[in-house]
Amino acid sequence: MPTRTTQGRRQLRLYTALVIAGALATIGAAPAHAAPPGNDEIHNAVVVPGVGFTDTRDTTEATFAEGDSGCGAATVWYTFTPDTGGTYQFDTVGSDYDTTLALFEGSPGALTLLACNDDAFGLQSAIRHELTAGTTYYVEAGTCCGGEVGQVGPGGNLVFNVGSAPPALEIQLALDPQGRIGAEPGTAIVSGTVTCNTEVNAVISGTLRQRQGLNIARGDFFIESPCSTTPTAWTATVDAGTRLFLPKSATLNANAFACDPFTCAQDAATRTIKLRR
């Protein structure tokens, strides 16, 4: 019959074995993962109550289901039924990863793709579309590209915004009434301002012509300029080549052109300017 000392040793060995087995099981266990976001599937789409809506969501565990047919992967879903018809904007500005957006009309299982976008504002996506009052639309926010070509990147912190679309891009070009003869032979300096109803980059091009008896001195220019709601001054150098601009009147024709992610706009101006030394 075993002694109490022998029984104690057996119990100690059994306890030690159980502790080691538990530790090994913990080490070998699969790491815990966060659950997919609540709107991971289309039947759980978040209902957008109206314009001015913003939703922030962790999409690192978002999945791509068989019915997800937008222009990205690891998707989450939103649904919107506008009370009034008009042009609306959906965007992911504020998100911290490369996103995509897709807009659908119809019902789950029978959706029609209306628009798809990637990289409207840097790596963030945006869709502007004319919507009909009382019609239900679905918006799918997904992930785009990873570190390698063709690789889909993970999700992250999504910011999803819904609002009325801002006015279409507008641009206005103005020409200064005076220019000057450039320091380099055959050149002249012309200037003006450009104004847009939103911040974009504009391209300004044009031609300066000056009649000199039976001859014409002519040169072209092409520059880029920032454009915003405050008039931005621009200056361009015009080169007439082998001919020289003279300190007298000349005709300046110019055109300004700019695009935002959705629309383009242009404006043209012509005026007689006075060239001075």
What's the CA gap between 197 and 199, in Å, rounded? 7
CATH of domain 42-164: 2.60.120.380
Distance, in Å, from the CA atom of 204 to the CA atom of 28, rounded to the nearest integer, reads 65
Whole-number CA gyration radius for the chain: 32
The Cα 176–Cα 179 span in angstroms is 7
Cα angle at 174 between 244 and 235, to 5 degrees? Answer: 45
Give me the CATH topology for the region 171-276: Immunoglobulin-like (2.60.40)
pLDDT average per 10 residues of sequence, the chain (277 residues): 44 39 42 75 95 95 76 90 96 94 93 92 94 97 74 86 94 98 95 97 98 95 98 97 94 97 95 97
- The residues spanned by each domain of the chain are 42-164, 171-276
CB contact set of 31 (below 8 Å; sequence gap of 6+):
none
Report pLDDT for 36.
86
- Give the model's pLDDT for residue 271: 98
pTM of the model: 0.71
The pLDDT assigned to 34 comes to: 63
Which pLDDT value is given to residue 89?
96
> What pLDDT does residue 276 have?
96
pLDDT of residue 153: 75
Residue 71: predicted pLDDT: 80
Amino acid 73: pLDDT: 84
What count of Cα atoms within 13 Å lies in the side-chain half-sphere of residue 97?
26
What would the two tokens of residue 203 be? 């391209």
Return the structure tokens found at 191. 């200037």
